Amino acid sequence: MGENDIINDFLVESYENLDRLDRDLVGLEKNPNDREALAGIFRTIHTIKGTCGFLGFNKLEKVAHVGENLLSRLRDGQLALSPAITTALLGMVDAVREMLKKIETTGQDGENDYPELRETLTRLQQGQGESPSGQRPVAAPDPPASSVADAAKASVEVPPPSPKPSAKASAPQKPATAEHEARGEGMGGRAVSDSTVRVNVALLERVMNLVGELVLARNQVLQFANRVKDTGFVAATQRLNLITTELQEGIMKTRMQPIGNIWDQFPRTVRDVALGCKKEVGIEMEGKDTELDKTIIEAIKDPLTHLVRNSVDHGIELPADRIAAGKPRAGRLVLRAFHEGGQVNIEIIDDGGGLNVERIRKKAVERGVVSGEQAARMSEREIFNLIFLPGFSTAEKVTNVSGRGVGMDVVKTNVEKIGGTVDMQSVAGQGTTVRVKIPLTLAIIPALVVTCSEERYAIPQVSLLELVRLEADKVASGIELVHGAPVYRLRGRLLPLVYLNRELHLAQGGNEGSHKSESTAKPAREDAVNIVVLQADERQFGLVVDQINDTEEIVVKPLRKQLKTLKTFAGSSIMGDGKVALILDVLGLAQRANVVTEARDRSLAEKTEETAEAGEKQTFLLFAGPGDSRMAIPLAILARLEEFPVAQVEMSGSQWVAQYRGQILPLIRLNTVLEERRKRLKDVTALPHTEAGPIQVLVLNHERQMFGLVVERIIDIVDDRAEVRSPATRPCVLYSVVIGERVTELLDIPAILLAAGGAVSSMPAASRVAEMGR
Amino acid sequence: MARSQFCSFYLDKLLFGVELHGVQEVMRSLDMTQVPLAPDVVSGLINLRGQIVTAVDLRRRLELGPAPPGTRPMNVVVRSGDGAMSLVVDQIGDVVEVDEDTFEAPPETLRGLVRSMILGVHKLDKQLLHVLDVEKACEMTDRADANHTAAN
């Protein structure tokens, strides 16, 4: 082994140890009596000092030496750990790291021998030494001779300022075990090193690339095998297939690293930032073992660090403010990582003041990011996500940590670069949650290959929910229109449909070339329709393609820089036949098709009143109520539109009900709740006439309560500001409003529920079923 | 005297050249994958032995109008700052060796987008050889797209 190898080993080992030191020191600050941690720290520094003495790095040795002196006094209990000492020790760790870096690049430990740092360390070491140790009982029995020798060796460099002999004698048990452990660990370490091998990353990358190529070649062979009748060849390709898959899985695993590797530095980061801005922050971590591909780990390190610093600097308030707000003095920062649907979610949660919507809105207008009118229309979530725009910072003062207006946009760009997303949620006064979603790996992904207009596209499997095939005779009835927008009823829920050929402006595929009816959104084709049900950002939509081919493992190749502006594509890949196929970016596609828009993101639970009173543009469902009067409800509370044949309506007490998706759906007739002269209606409890046509029902979801509203007929769905209002003239109506240039009554859903009686809201499902059985 | 070599090709009967040392290879047209929504100067993507290469329609880029029917375009694969790119041309010409002193900058009367892509011309005996700025030619922003990217 040459000298260079020795130095390299020394560097690798020292870096690892230093990373642990950061963590241990901060941990020690919380729990100063953790002697084991202290012994570990001492051991690390001691090893570094020893090795660099041997290798001739004198300056590094000097710094490590004073650090060791201080540590040995701490370890022996002659000094108590104080924040000043921790800071100095962390400073020493930094200095050591810097020098290691110099050794790595130049082979020398540099010119700087850190005189101030050494002075500080020495001063601290000589400070208040005796008091804590003086009180220690002289308890230890005679330690074994070797331990004494070890302890003596370890502390021989300590210039004893005023060593009380009793103090010396009081502590031997600990250092003795520490030394013993050091040796023991050394043995254990060797055992571990037998089962692991350090591998050069470049080599691993090369192997990874080769496996990628192998996967491609395998795919080509498999395609070829489909056309060959030779059973021996087919069997061989099957084996090749299996082995390649296993090899690929194996090599992917070698690249996996726990996210804890980068999180380990965060306690230190948090401590430093918190100290810098005079805050108190505790950090908690969940899911440290969550594994990610190495390249991704590297790519998210900086963005995550930034987000963590930001949370401490901007998110968490000063202790005084926290107490005033009735919160515990110390802020709480939670890092959480977990797997979900082939992706890794990382959440950074603080319990700070939350984002100030108004301030961001104001700032955005000031900076000219959005116009005043736009800003007024934007929803909270849209506003939060404004802070990811370049040059945007709402920090009132620029600190050395954040507030310079660079950062969040870089975070977003970097996360998006690796196919991830960042989202921000915040509740004023309660805190902020930043959620980063990233793929497990970038290199090889399973994908569904589809054909559209004779070109193939790959859809990453992570976004895929299911496939629906509508046979030709079902197409006309299966695909319905909501005011021109095609939808499909998937198990009773309306799934918006997106036609890939239209979104990509492709010519209609060859087999349906005769239909050029672009103006009518509903396709008038006779062929079967293939719907790929996809998930984009909590929304589902159906992507209509010409043909669904197969699932394949594809190797992702990034698009050229200029083409990256195309948000609809995530990359490209080479297919089994050697042709290139584009990989669809499901989220980008959904945004392009307006599937993911804020208006539809409004949760159904949102109160009717709130949506009605907001001045922004809203979407209403218009329908005809009793006596053909024009009425509306906000679309947000509408779950589905249904048509029930009269025969399906049953009675439960005086309540109309219908069996619907395994539940009993109470049906509220508007005429019974709206009419002032209710008694006049004699048929109030009667079933509908059997001769009557099917009844139109709006299935509504109000505060998790599902019920049906029987209406005469559904008119339309419109976007309107609904600004011209007049007070309601009858109960169960919020107010009259002009929608689409006609006076329309906006219904008060809670009032209707109330008027319809407790039967709707309070009857538990079981009793309803029992009643039905009678 | 400094002499330099150009790989020459034809576009709409005009003779163009790119510096030979920047050319990786020349190929007959390959299977090309369309890139929907891309600027229309992008012909598509080709698989060059496992490497995915973007092809630029030079006719579009140089505002020359569509190729006459029956043209079998060629791919001139060049090395650009952002990896290999393919320039789609009508017909490939010879390797031309020229003297430096036959070079002249484009006349002031040459205007517009094209001017930025043409470094100048070499005066050959029978014809002018337009020297193409490969980096500029490989920029895929056409006018409509330029606005688009600016907005991003």
In chain A, residues with a C-beta closer than 8 Å to the C-beta of B57 are none
Which range is least confidently modeled, A170-184, A335-349, A451-465, A559-573? A170-184
Amino acid at A14: S
The residue ranking higher by pLDDT, A608 or A324, is A324
CB contact under 8 A, A582 and B139: no
Interface with B, mutate which of A560, A568, A575 (most B CBs under 10 A): A560
Judge whether A499 and A507 are in contact, CB under 8 Å: no
Which range is least confidently modeled, A5-9, A210-214, A764-768, B76-80? A764-768
Measured CA to CA, the distance from residue B7 to residue B95 in angstroms comes to 5
Residue A450 pLDDT level (bands cut at 50, 70, 90)? very high
What was the pLDDT predicted at A611? 38
What was the pLDDT predicted at A97? 83
A658, A659, A663, A664 alpha-carbon torsion, rounded to 10°: 30
In chain B, residues with a C-beta closer than 8 Å to the C-beta of A455 are 33-34, 36
A477, A483, A487, A489 alpha-carbon torsion, rounded to 10°: -60
What was the pLDDT predicted at A77? 76
Question: What Rg value do the Cα atoms of chain A yield, rounded?
Answer: 35
Judge whether A440 and A293 are in contact, CB under 8 Å: yes
Which range is least confidently modeled, A463-477, A710-724, B53-67? A710-724
Give the pLDDT mean for A706-735: 77
CB contact under 8 A, B82 and A568: no
Which range is least confidently modeled, A124-133, A425-434, A451-460, A728-737? A124-133
- The predicted-structure confidence for B12-21, as pLDDT tens digits, reads as follows 888 999 998 8
- The predicted-structure confidence for A32-63, as pLDDT tens digits, reads as follows 777 777 777 887 887 787 777 777 788 888 88
User: In 10 A of CB A441, how many CB atoms?
Assistant: 21
CB contact under 8 A, A504 and B46: no
What was the pLDDT predicted at A119? 83
Measured CA to CA, the distance from residue A596 to residue A598 in angstroms comes to 7
Give the pLDDT mean for A143-158: 41
The partner residues of A359 in beta bridges, in order of sequence, read: none
User: In 10 A of CB A153, how many CB atoms?
Assistant: 11
Amino acid at A280: E
What was the pLDDT predicted at B76? 93
User: CA angle, corner A546, sides to A543 and A548, nearest 5?
Assistant: 80
Kindly provide the ipTM of the predicted complex, given to two decimals. Answer: 0.79
| Closest listed residue to residue A422, CA positions, set A450, A452, A384 | A384
Question: In a 10 Å sphere around its CB, with 0-12 CB exposed, 13-18 middle and 19+ buried, how is residue A39 labelled?
Answer: buried
In chain A, residues with a C-beta closer than 8 Å to the C-beta of B44 are 580
What was the pLDDT predicted at A378? 77
Measured CA to CA, the distance from residue A353 to residue A318 in angstroms comes to 10
| Closest listed residue to residue B137, CA positions, set B39, B50, B68, B41 | B41
Measured CA to CA, the distance from residue B57 to residue B73 in angstroms comes to 10
Give DSSP secondary structure letters for A512-529. Answer: GTT----SSSS----S-E
User: Does position A682 have pLDDT exceeding 50, yes or no?
Assistant: no
- DSSP classification of residue B50: T
The residues near A305 (Cβ < 8 Å, ≥ 6 apart) are A265, A266, A269
- The predicted-structure confidence for A610-665, as pLDDT tens digits, reads as follows 333 444 567 778 888 877 788 888 877 777 777 788 878 887 777 788 887 777 88
Task: Determine the 3-state secondary structure of B12 from DSSP.
Answer: coil
Helices A35-55 and A58-75, packing angle to 10 deg: 160
Please name the residue of chain A whose CA is at the shortest distance from the CA of residue B35. A582
Nearest to A561 among B33, B50, B82 (CB): B82
Mean pLDDT of chain A: 74
Residue A338 pLDDT level (bands cut at 50, 70, 90)? confident
Judge whether A718 and A617 are in contact, CB under 8 Å: no
Give the pLDDT mean for A680-708: 68
Task: Determine the 3-state secondary structure of A95 from DSSP.
Answer: helix
- The distance of Cα A573 from the centroid of its chain, to the nearest Å, equals 26
- DSSP classification of residue A560: P
Q: Are strands B118-123 and B14-19 parallel, antiparallel or unpaired?
A: unpaired
What was the pLDDT predicted at B77? 92
Query: Positive or negative, the Cα torsion across A629, A632, A638, A640?
Result: positive
- The distance of Cα A189 from the centroid of its chain, to the nearest Å, equals 36
Give the pLDDT mean for A134-160: 40
Total-model pTM: 0.44
